[in-house]
Amino acid sequence: MLKSMTGFGRGEYIDSNHRFTVEIKAVNHRYTEIGIRAPKNLSALEDKIRRSIAQSLFRGRVDIYIAMEEFGEQRRMVRVDKELAMAYHNAMRELARLLNSSTVDFTPLIARFPDVLKVEEEEQDVLKLWPKLSEAMDAAIGNLLAMRLAEGANIQADLTMRIAKIETYVQQIEERMPEVLEEYRAKLLARMRDALTAIGVEPDETRLLQEVACFADRTNIAEELVRLKSHLAQFRSTLDVGEAVGRKLDFIVQEINRETNTIASKANDFTIANIVVEIKSEIEKVREQIQNIE
């Protein structure tokens, strides 16, 4: 089953101490590119987050948004910058002497100065949070994959329909080729008769057959049709592989397009030229759809 590269997934984990919310958005991209937006204190888990994504998503631009809430009692500590506090105290005493002011207790005032008192939260072991975050990640990835598979199924149905149309056009070209040769023989014979009748000479049947044979050789597209049908069959089988096949399908489409161009240049027939235009129109639609496949 094909997977689209676009999709969205959300996952959540919650217990008495933490809530983790993970949202993952994926869009088309030629390679795998992962962007992470998470609280700064979770930066040590970034490598684990990337590996978790890379195990499930093989192609596309993936943006991950992580939010964390903490509940319950959190241990905080108040630290005093002693050097800064003494510097403020000495400066206040010097100012008091300069102004002939009585010495007072400067402690309440100094405590309000910037950076004298700092509130710090107790550092926690971030690695212990990974099992919780991982559960939310797994849920988000699962929902994202479900959306990508659903869209992939729609793309596969569309591609199957378009390949079937191309196969129908190829069959029309195969059926047309004998008619092209017969029409060329008839036109050539008519021209030879018109030219030779004026001088009273009958057309040379051997010469006519030689000219028709040369034309048949120049316009022979049997090999191209065989290769084209082979590429179409390979495209169909690749659709059912069940893995990341976007790049492979893109390559096969290039080969389909190459054989189609060769047929157009060699066939030398207006009807076949019109059929080729229809094939190339379908190829472009297939190519557009493939850009969405992982």
Q: What pLDDT, on a 0 to 100 scale, did the predictor assign at position 61?
A: 93
Q: Over 80: is that where the pLDDT of 216 sits?
A: no
pLDDT greater at residue 133 or residue 83: 133
pTM (predicted TM-score): 0.69
Cα–chain center distance at 105: 68
Q: What is the mean pLDDT of residues 53-75?
A: 86
Report pLDDT for 156: 94
Residue 135 is predicted with a pLDDT of 96
Is the domain 7-73+125-147 a CATH 1.10.3470 member? Answer: no
CB 5 within 8 Å of CB 294: yes
Which pLDDT belongs to residue 16?
87
Q: Is the pLDDT confidence value at 208 over 60?
A: no
In the structure, what pLDDT confidence band is assigned to residue 157 with cuts at 50, 70 and 90? very high
Domain(s) of CATH 3.30.230: residues in the chain: 7-73+125-147
pLDDT band for position 289 (cuts 50, 70, 90): very high
Q: Which residue has the higher pLDDT, 23 or 58?
A: 23
Phi first, then psi: give them for residue 267, nearest 5 degrees.
-65, -35
Within 8 A by CB and 6+ apart from 129, the residues are 18, 20, 42, 45, 68
Q: What is the pLDDT of residue 200?
A: 58
pLDDT of residue 66: 96
Exposure pattern of 244-253 as b/e (b: 16+ CB <10 Å)?
bbbebbeebb
The whole-number pLDDT of residue 80 equals 82
Q: What mean pLDDT do residues 183-201 have?
A: 60
In this predicted structure, the answer to whether residue 125 has a pLDDT above a threshold of 80 is: no
The lowest-confidence range among 54-63, 75-84, 99-108, 151-160 is 99-108
Separation between Cα atoms, residue 53 and residue 34, nearest integer Å: 8
